[in-house]
Amino acid sequence: MSLEGKIEHVALSDTGKVREHNEDAIAAEMDLGLLVLADGMGGYNAGEIASGIAVKTVTGMVRDSVDRETRGMLDKETGLTRQSIVLRDAIARANKIINQTAQSQPQCQGMGTTIVACLFFDDRVSIAHVGDSRLYRLRDEKLERLTMDHSLLQELVDRGFYSPEEAERSANRNYVTRALGVEPSVDVEVHEHAVHKGDFYVLCSDGLSDMVEDEDIHLTISTFSASLATAGQQLIRLSNDNGGRDNVSIIMAHVIEPFPAQRSLLDRLRNWFD
């Protein structure tokens, strides 16, 4: 089921004020309900190659798989829906391709990428990520981060060495403990959440989260909620005004109509006779 008309979205990317080229890659395929953002790293243009492989692989595998899967069906072993498994496996496949490319192409050695992706379906969303690219949700005027960074700093916060507030001010925020392409396999973190009408979802690279505090992200979305494009442009402007030390990419989505699971004729007939 296409979600065109159910979820409005905007996808923006900017080189920033310091970097010479943009190593982020983004895709918004609302006919699939899929949003993907990858933040590449590596020498020369290798980061750009890694993020591009990640986004292309995930988009292609989800497009090939999601319509062939039983929508909403739970996998008994993992407790995940088939959509979450497709998203997880697509990211794992991207990791393998990036790792193999880095091993076989000298100019790509050491490349990798973080990634965050979400797949909307049946009034739910599957969220998968690796690294420190993030996904936020604004619901009922409360901004909540739905992903936790795979970073050394986050591990120190989890162990009590830093408070979340101290972590936000730390200069050592970019040491990721997980990324695509670094090892032959990767642990993809996957979660599912219910989606409510009126929700805002924000996927971003650390070019935003390192430059703009969560409170300012919240305030910007709330202030410019009538126009996603304006809100996104303002967030990029804030990032650049605060130094623009990295590429900054943002995908924003606003749920304007519910998108429940489509029921079969047999299901509807059963309801008539219940």
> What's the angle, vertex CA 195, arms to CA 247 and CA 55, rounded to 5?
35
pLDDT digits (tens, 9 = 90+) for 202-249: 999 999 999 999 999 999 999 999 999 999 999 999 999 999 999 999
Q: Which two tokens stand for residue 266?
A: 């047999």
177-196 pLDDT, tens digit each: 999 999 999 999 999 999 99
| Full-model pTM | 0.89
Domains of the chain: 15-261 (3.60.40.10)
What b-and-e string marks burial along 186-215, b requiring 16 or more CB atoms within 10 Å of the CB? bebbbbbbebeeebbbbbbbbbbbbbbeee
Give how far the C-alpha of residue 205 lies from the chain's centroid of Cα atoms, to the nearest Å.
9
- The confidence band for 169, taking pLDDT boundaries of 50, 70 and 90, is low
Strand runs labelled E in 147-199: 189-194
pLDDT in tens, 61-76: 999 986 665 455 666 6
